[in-house]
Structure 1
Amino acid sequence: MKVLVSDEISEAGIEILEKKGVDVTYNTELGYEELLEEIGKYHGIILRSMTPLNEEVLAKADNLKVIARAGSGYDNIDVEAASKKGIIVLNTPGQNTISAAEQTMALMAGLSRNIYHANKALHEGVWNRSKYMGVELNQKTLGIIGLGRVGGNVAKMAQGFNMKVIANDPYIPAKRGERLGVELVEFDELLERADYITLHTPLTEETHHIIDKEAISKMKDGVRILNVARGQNVDCQALYHGVKSGKVAGAGLDVHEEEPITEDYSLLELEDKVIMAPHLGGTTVEAMDNVSIDAARQMLSVFEGDLPRTPLNIPSVDPKVMAEIKPYINLADKLGSFYSGWTGGRVEEVEVIYQGDIAKQEVEPITTAVLKGLLNPVVNEDINLVNAQMIAEERGIKVVESKSKTSNKYSNLITLKVKDKDEMTKLSGTVFHKGDLRIVDIDGYQADIIPEGILLVSDHIDKPGVVGQVGTLFGSNDVNIASMRLGRNQAGGRAIMVLTLDDEPREELKDELLKIDGIKDINVFAL
């Protein structure tokens, strides 16, 4: 595997990849045109916030399997375009949480006590205590917009300064606020009450320019604003005018609307009131190690056929839950693949029925695995857990899930009912102890099939001599039968035979099998 590291990360992650034999190219100087030329060579890319992975770039990424963002924000990645190409996108949230929270407090303290400007004056030989008089954080009200990982840590740190903390986050339950000792309030109330306002939200349509001219007009006179989240959360022109007018006493910015900033960045004029850093929130030795190691480990998981811990375009499941449902994901993939190899019909509708223990779990990734197995053999695209749902929707396949906590015979059972233009077909499978997978029902015929290897499925009439002739024909052609399973609906009626073979039979042998009296159809496929 070849991996491009296009932004600065710690050597710790690179070493992890190289120890596993991954060919790593470290090049943080690629221009846009060079990136367009180079991206097609790589199976993975690790980046931070500076590399633009837009639709144009991803269109050239013919071999890319995984994009690993060493950090949490990912607005430089077109996740939808990546999903359409089946590229897994992951990030490393939580690994730089403390660094970002500490940067917030550093900016807050530095802004309040004029540390930067006083330091600069001293270096210029000026001693002026009165000019750089500051204000205390003690007893001030801090308004946090976004009470996630970083916002929660900022709340704890601010309380250590004896600040009163309020927050606005429509996606956070009241219990989290209670645990943190934070009062959850409406957005406008936060603007009106806070002496300091700090942002810790991702960049979405809702949060783009969440601090704009109108928001600033509702704030207290003399408010101080901090942003260590995403630059476009703040309208920099509105902030410029707010500081210029005196409405905003000052601002501390780690992130900016356009990065890197240019000489015409208006806030540079306000040196006495605005302190800035070049996006250093997650840039500490510890954080850089953490995000680099996490990105590398998750990338290796993808290369090894597993799911990443924190995917952005696969249904996200708690790692503990994922460990429990992983065997069912494998089973679902096998069931879908078995159906496609066996019938190969045009799928119109898929119903996935979960019974027993598995019905208590999060099943969306399992349903996605069913679609992956169904579509991979018949669609001229690389179908995986990223794009299976999207491809199914594009092909007009209706997908239905249903659950029952009880199962008549098995502790867990997954059943597919697949409808094509002619008929409905049913398959069922289960997971035994230690992840042992079995297909246990094929369209009403009881079975006990290990879904792996080369399989031959015959549709035939239950009559003497059919099975014997099949065995003889394989023996005379030096094809070994590893296992055989038979099922029938009634004596002399329709029957199914499933063989596991050591080698795929030649086309001539398949033709000979179809000449046996009673055999209606034969399908050979690999699982």
Structure 2
Amino acid sequence: MTKPKVLISDKMDPNAARIFTEMGCDVDVITGETPEQLIARIGQYDGLAIRSSTKVTPAILDAATNLKVIGRAGIGVDNVDIPYASSKGVVVMNTPFGNSITTAEHAIAMMFALARQIPEANTQTQAGLWPKNGFMGVEVTGKTLGLIGAGNIGSIVAARAQGLRMKVVAYDPFLTPERAIEMGVEKADLDTLLGKADFITLHTPLTNETRNILSRENLAKAKKGVRIINCARGGLIDEAALKDALDSGQVAGAALDVFETEPAKDSPLFGTPNFICTPHLGASTTEAQVNVALQVAEQMADYLVNGGVTNALNMPSLSAEEAPKLRPYMALAEKLGSLVGQLTTGAIPRISIHTEGAAAELNSKPIIAAVLAGFLRTQSDTVNMVNAPFLAKERGMEVRDVKTEKTGDYHTLVRVSVKTTDGERSVAGTLFSNAEPRLVELFGIKVEAELTGDMVYVVNEDAPGFIGRIGTLLGENAINIGTFNLGRRNAGGEAVLLLSVDSPVPAAVVDQARSLPGVKRVKALKFA
């Protein structure tokens, strides 16, 4: 039997190559190649192990005629075209937790560097100036740390800060009160955090909701003299606004390990007093580099040799026997989870997955994992089928698995219910022809719809003329409607409308739709 062949194209701990060999793979380590050189070479490999330097573009994937798996030693996969890899049947894996401690420690180090102005003091001292009276720092003991994002890395930062006798206030829409108590932090909304925090550190993915979460407006709301640390993702802070806040003294200091554009060559922050930065070093420790290299080698080799799937971003963990029956259910479950995630806000202490009829006879774990992955992916860019249950537990969510073997209106049904501040809310779906996922109920309203691509969700009063008004609005903005799906509680009561559209709906158009007579809620949705 021919051994799988793996290419390591970025610098990686040498033990990774050893693991590939020990697990039955042939491995080549060839780093620093140009895209053209990689295109010429990649066709002979079954696996590609990378870090951040190699950019896996459609051109490379087109040339990778034998490629079965890409393994990213680290968390971020911005350098991999995952949708195109999926279309080529290539599994994309990462190592989402290998850098957690390292990144958290870097954030703490940056906080100390800000508090005591260490970089500038070092520069002046080495220049022979001995500026003993020129630097007056602040203690972190007794200060309040504002944590934006309380997931895996954020929780580690919180624990380290508490060890320094800091008070921790956390903002995370998915942080439950129970989890906050367990972490020993005060759960707060963003405005409260901004008003209390002496230091703010960010630990959230970059999504539409978190982009520029520290905007000019929010920086102005912050406590005067706050110090800000970002070792998470570039784009979470308005960098031009941050410079102005530093110049005015509203922000006493800022430390960034990440920038909106990387490599950062001409940031407006460069040269600003009380600003320090590092070149995306959050994961750069010997231990972290070893950990992620070993993990990605083990995962890739297990897949290539044994068919095991771990930490895949575009493929569920399945046995060969279960896959044919479960895959359509998991597609349905992930869409239902995504729908609930996009339409609910705030902490969700409980999520229930209820299967009926034929669905109740199947292994429910992959279905549950698919629901959780769809739900949590709206808030995190590292969620997959493997780590979704862990992340749900980490966030303090209670996950319930309910089965009913008898059938109701449908021969098979999957229902996802969440406990919110407004009460229990649920969506349900079935499979048409045992293969095609369909939504059949949305928050108690019967509606049949395919959840795919870009969509618009509207809740409105059931009244004549509304469909014409929403259709006209979209048409005036050159947005073509693909399908129209309607449901209502009763005549003249609350109605729900799900539209599939051929292009994303801009926020400005959503705002216009909200202003239409009778509209209660509008939300632009996105499904894979």
> Shared fold (TM-score greater than 0.5)?
yes
Aligned to 2:322, the other structure's residue is in SS state helix
Kindly state the Cα deviation for residue 419 of structure 1 after the two structures are TM-superposed. Answer: 4.8
Q: Paired residue for 1:122?
A: 125
Structure 1 pair 242/46, CA: closer, same or farther in 2 (3 Å)?
farther
Q: Paired residue for 2:161?
A: 158
Select which of 85, 98, 101 maps to 1:95. Answer: 98
Deviates more, 1:149-158 or 1:327-336: 327-336
Question: Is 1:241 the equivalent of 2:244?
Answer: yes
CA distance, structure 1, for counterparts of residue 243 and residue 192 of structure 2: 23
Q: Paired residue for 1:48?
A: 51
Kindly state the Cα deviation for residue 21 of structure 1 after the two structures are TM-superposed. Answer: 4.3
Kindly state the Cα deviation for residue 87 of structure 1 after the two structures are TM-superposed. Answer: 1.4
Preserved CA contact (<8 Å) 2:255 2:277: yes
CA distance, structure 2, for counterparts of residue 61 and residue 206 of structure 1: 35
Preserved CA contact (<8 Å) 1:49 1:76: yes
Kindly state the Cα deviation for residue 303 of structure 1 after the two structures are TM-superposed. Answer: 0.5
Q: Paired residue for 1:391?
A: none
CA deviation map 1:328-384 (0-9, x unaligned): 526848999xxxxxxxxxxxxxx992455x4554437899xxxxxxxxxxxxxxxxx
Q: Which amino acid in 1 is paired with 2:358?
A: I
Structure 1 pair 355/144, CA: closer, same or farther in 2 (3 Å)?
closer
Structure 1 pair 46/174, CA: closer, same or farther in 2 (3 Å)?
farther
Q: Which amino acid in 2 is paired with 1:363?
A: I
Structure 1 pair 352/326, CA: closer, same or farther in 2 (3 Å)?
farther
Q: Which amino acid in 1 is paired with 2:290?
A: D
Preserved CA contact (<8 Å) 2:357 2:406: no
CA distance, structure 2, for counterparts of residue 418 and residue 189 of structure 1: 48
CA distance, structure 1, for counterparts of residue 244 and residue 48 of structure 2: 40
Q: Paired residue for 2:283?
A: 282
Q: Which amino acid in 2 is paired with 1:279?
A: H
Question: Is 1:78 the equivalent of 2:81?
Answer: yes
Q: Paired residue for 2:302?
A: 301
Q: Paired residue for 2:170?
A: 167
Aligned to 1:250, the other structure's residue is in SS state strand
Q: Paired residue for 1:14?
A: 17
Q: How does 1:88-487 map to 2 (within 5 A)?
A: 88-262=91-265, 264-270=266-272, 272-315=273-316, 326=319, 329=322, 332=325, 353-354=358-359, 358=362, 360-363=364-367, 404=404, 419=433
CA distance, structure 2, for counterparts of residue 273 and residue 43 of structure 1: 49
Structure 1 pair 214/97, CA: closer, same or farther in 2 (3 Å)?
same
Q: Paired residue for 1:482?
A: none
Q: Which amino acid in 2 is paired with 1:353?
A: A
CA deviation map 1:81-103 (0-9, x unaligned): 22222211111122121111111
CA distance, structure 2, for counterparts of residue 8 and residue 208 of structure 1: 31
Aligned to 2:125, the other structure's residue is in SS state helix
CA deviation map 1:26-63 (0-9, x unaligned): 33323344444444443222222333224444343332
Structure 1 pair 20/307, CA: closer, same or farther in 2 (3 Å)?
closer
Q: Which amino acid in 2 is paired with 1:298?
A: Q
CA deviation map 1:414-438 (0-9, x unaligned): xxx9959xxxxxxxxxxxxxxxxxx
Kindly state the Cα deviation for residue 115 of structure 1 after the two structures are TM-superposed. Answer: 1.3
Kindly state the Cα deviation for residue 154 of structure 1 after the two structures are TM-superposed. Answer: 0.2
CA distance, structure 2, for counterparts of residue 245 and residue 61 of structure 1: 53
Aligned to 2:269, the other structure's residue is in SS state helix
Q: Paired residue for 2:375?
A: none
Structure 1 pair 360/52, CA: closer, same or farther in 2 (3 Å)?
closer
CA distance, structure 1, for counterparts of residue 280 and residue 175 of structure 2: 26
Q: Which amino acid in 1 is paired with 2:71?
A: A
CA deviation map 1:464-516 (0-9, x unaligned): xxxxxxxxxxxxxxxxxxxxxxxxxxxxxxxxxxxxxxxxxxxxxxxxxxxxx
In the TM superposition, structure 1's runs of 4+ consecutive aligned residues that sit over 6 Å from their partners are: 333-336, 364-367
Preserved CA contact (<8 Å) 1:360 1:405: no
CA deviation map 1:62-94 (0-9, x unaligned): 322112111112222222222222211111122
Q: Which amino acid in 2 is paired with 1:163?
A: M
Larger Rg: 1
CA distance, structure 2, for counterparts of residue 239 and residue 42 of structure 1: 46
CA distance, structure 2, for counterparts of residue 148 and residue 48 of structure 1: 23
Aligned to 1:249, the other structure's residue is in SS state strand
Preserved CA contact (<8 Å) 1:100 1:282: yes
Structure 1 pair 221/21, CA: closer, same or farther in 2 (3 Å)?
same
CA distance, structure 1, for counterparts of residue 280 and residue 151 of structure 2: 19
Structure 1 unaligned regions, length at least 5: 316-321, 337-350, 368-384, 387-401, 408-416, 421-527
Kindly state the Cα deviation for residue 226 of structure 1 after the two structures are TM-superposed. Answer: 0.6
Structure 2 unaligned regions, length at least 5: 330-355, 372-384, 387-401, 408-430, 435-528
Structure 1 pair 279/28, CA: closer, same or farther in 2 (3 Å)?
farther
Q: Paired residue for 1:5?
A: 8
CA distance, structure 2, for counterparts of residue 66 and residue 215 of structure 1: 42
Structure 1 pair 334/203, CA: closer, same or farther in 2 (3 Å)?
closer
Preserved CA contact (<8 Å) 2:42 2:63: yes
Kindly state the Cα deviation for residue 6 of structure 1 after the two structures are TM-superposed. Answer: 2.8
CA distance, structure 1, for counterparts of residue 258 and residue 171 of structure 2: 20
Work out the percentage of aligned pairs sharing the same amino acid.
Answer: 41
CA distance, structure 2, for counterparts of residue 226 and residue 236 of structure 1: 12
Q: CA RMSD in A?
A: 3.3
CA distance, structure 2, for counterparts of residue 115 and residue 178 of structure 1: 34
CA distance, structure 1, for counterparts of residue 145 and residue 327 of structure 2: 54
Structure 1 pair 314/365, CA: closer, same or farther in 2 (3 Å)?
farther
Preserved CA contact (<8 Å) 2:358 2:405: no
Q: Paired residue for 1:478?
A: none
Paired residue total = 355
Structure 1 pair 238/38, CA: closer, same or farther in 2 (3 Å)?
farther
TM-score (norm 1): 0.61
Q: Paired residue for 1:343?
A: none
CA deviation map 1:360-409 (0-9, x unaligned): 54437899xxxxxxxxxxxxxxxxx99xxxxxxxxxxxxxxx964599xx
Structure 1 pair 33/212, CA: closer, same or farther in 2 (3 Å)?
farther
Preserved CA contact (<8 Å) 1:252 1:276: yes
